[in-house]
Structure formats: C-alpha cells, structure tokens
Chains A and B, each alone.
Chain A
Amino acid sequence: MTCSERTVELVECARRNGSNAGPGPELRAHLSLCPHCRDRWDRERQLTAEFRIMRMRTAALGAVASGSRDARRESLMRDFSRRRDLSVRPGRAAVPSWVWGLGAAAALLLALFLGHQAGKRPRETAAPAFRTHVPTQQTVVYEANYFLSNDASALSSDDFIAVPYTPPLAPGELVRMVHADLYPEALASLGVEVDPSWAGDVPVDVVVGEDGLPRAVRITDNGQF
C-alpha cells in the first residue's frame, strides 16, 4: 500500500476517532516507519481537534444569539399569520391557475369569433345622408370640375346651402349636381332649416363630390313656401 493510499485511511481514522484514539495496528506500523505519513497524521489529528473547538464555539455563539433568534422567530410567525389572513380574505380566495387559463382561452375565442363576424359583414361606405331618404328618382343635371375654391361654402351662392361637416372638395374634383326629391327630415340632416309645416317631398338640387357625399343643397321649387 502506498503512502497516498494510506492517506485516505489516515484521514478517515483521524475524523472518526478524533485525538483520543489511535490508528489500527497496520496503520500504526506504517506511521512508525514513514515520517511523511506521521507528520500528516499529526496534522489531521490537530485539524480534528480544531474543528471540535470551532463546533463548541459556534454552539456557544448560537446559544448567545438565541435572544435575537426568539425575536426573529416572533417576527416570522407574525408575518406568517398576516400572509395567511390575506390569503383567506373573502373575495380574494386563491383561484386555480387553470381557471385563469380557461378564461383567457374563452376570451380569445370570443375575440376571434367577433373579428370573423366583422370581417364577413359587407363594408358599408359612408353614404350621403340623403340617399337613404330619397324615395324618388335622382337625375344628374350638371357635371363639372370644381376649380373655384376648396371651400364648400363657396357653393352657397345661388341659394345653395353648404352641407356642414363634409370634407372640402379637391381642386379639379368632378362634382355633379343631382336633382332629387327629399323628405324634410333628410333636408334637415343636410343642414337646411326646415319648416315643421312642410309635408311631402321637397325638390332639391344637391352638389355631390366624387366620393358621393353631398357638399351643398338648394331647394329648387317648393310650392309650400
């Protein structure tokens, strides 16, 4: 057996027996012959003795620190009961995580379904208000390119009334003047002051831009005036 192999046995022996008991006969015989191993044996025993001192002093430290330990323990217990009270507060009961997952999945499916439905619905372009109220035929009476002004209020000349809240005409935009018969309600929606006594359709000329939106309206022949 070599010295390095003896060392393993030597260390284990020093650890097990401490400083009080000696090695077995075989190891003792080797130690008597090998100064290197004897030196290591002495140091291992010393190490074991030092560890014993460290253990005792650490135990003493722990005992002295027991006062602060009690305070820490109390603090922990208070913290524990506070957390427990929070977790059992009514209305804040712990919800299993799978419930949250299920809810999120349901919300996602609903959003997908609504999105799909919205996609299927035919897109409605913003139609001029009067179109929905025109019971009679429309006749295009005039078409021209608009060069005069970007401001639709310019169309107010010749008894035209500008329709409020409509985008201005672009220079060169094709405008059409459409003749139509409109209900008084439709006229009111185009910004025309309507007498409540009016009944039936009112013949009007409407200036319509390329986007189909009315820009100005003029009452042409209303026998009710």
Chain B
Amino acid sequence: MQKSDEELYRLMRKGNQDAFAQLYERREPALYRFALHMSGSPAVAEEVSHEVFVQLMGPGTRFDETRGSLESFLYGIARNLIRVFHRQGPVMEAVDRPYHHDILGELIGNETTAALHRTLRELPERYRDAIILCDLEERSYEDVARLIGCPVGTVRSRLHRARALLSAKLKRLNAPSEVFSR
C-alpha cells in the first residue's frame, strides 16, 4: 500500500532517504509545472522545484500535519519562492539548453498560445493559481481548495473570473483575423 505524503515526511525526518526520494518523485514534477506556469521561466521552475525540497529537509521546516496536507505545504513554499523570484526581476535563461530552442520556441511561435500565456502570467496571483491548478493541472475544485486553503466556491468563482479575463483577451486576439477575413 502506498504511503501518504505525511507518512513519508515523518520517515524522512527520521533520516529515511528512500522516503525523501519517494516524496521527490511524487511531487516534484507537478511543482515544476506549477512553477513553470506561474513564472513562465524554465530556469525559475527548476530553481523553485529544487529549493522546495531543500527547504523541506532543512532544520527550520515548520510543517504541521494538523494545519493541512504536506502537498499544500509544498505548494505554499513554491508560491513564496516564485514571489521572491518575481520581486528579483527577470531571470537569465541558459541559452545552451536544447528545449529553449525547440519546444519553448514552438510555444512562442504560436502567437495565440504565447499571448494567452503572457496574459495568464499577468493575471492576479489568485486567478493564476485557479487557472493553473484547475485547468492546466486538471485538479478538482476540492483538491485546489485544499491546496490553496480556501472554500470550493471561492475556487470556482476565481476560475470563472480568470477564464472571463482570458476569454476577453482571446476576443481581442481574434478580432484582427476576423477583420481580414471579411
């Protein structure tokens, strides 16, 4: 039977490296994607997803099971780190990475997607959280409510509001092509 995050965390605090490795395998990919969507920068996403686990194993970790899940705690650390990076300004991306030229280049190549991505990053954090977790990570409203610590209704209304903002952006993006097509 698979151990819960909290059980793995307890084992990890006792020095069990396998438990730490399992936690990393289980949670790092989603944290990386979350950080990537939030920041738009692969370098920041790598740094954040790494730093979350550095902080988790550090002596000053204040995770309290009675106050929420470990996953929620990890997302909280990631969110704070992204804010720190955001305050520090743009991050220099390593240019010699293959994905920087290929996949990200493709992403930017699609104008609509790139514009939507930019708009997503400019949304207020609470709306961005809702879009990223509900629509990009395809988590349920209940899951997201647990992760960000607010009622399910709030998550739903934030998501709808965020989609309305993005939808308006999409309308503006579609408008020129409609003009040309006439």
Contacts and interface: CB of A to CB of B under 8 A. Distances in A.
Contacts of B116: 47, 50, 54
A72 B51 CA distance: 10
In terms of DSSP, what is the predominant structure of the interface of chain A?
Answer: helix
Interface stretch (A63-71, A119-127, A159-167, A183-191): A63-71
Contact of B106 (A44, A57, A81, A83): A57
A51 interface: yes
Given A44-B163, A50-B116, A57-B106, A65 B32 contact: yes
A41 B98 CA distance: 38
Contacts of B85: none
Contacts of B151: none
Given A79-B54, A79-B57, A62 B33 contact: yes
Interface in A34-58: 39-40, 43-44, 46-48, 50-51, 53-55, 57-58
Contacts of A76: 20, 24, 50, 53-54, 57
Interface in A147-172: none
B166 to A, nearest CB: 6
Contact of A15 (B46, B53, B135): B135
A46 B33 contact: no
Interface residues of A, number: 38
Interface residues of B, number: 42
Interface string B72-112: 00000000000000000000000000110011101100101
Contacts of B163: 11, 44, 47
Which residue, A40, A61, A73, A87, has most C-beta atoms of chain B within 10 A? Answer: A61
Contacts of B33: 58-59, 62
A68 B46 contact: yes
Nearest to A64: B99
A47 B170 contact: yes
Closest 3 CB pairs of A and B: A64-B99, A84-B15, A43-B167
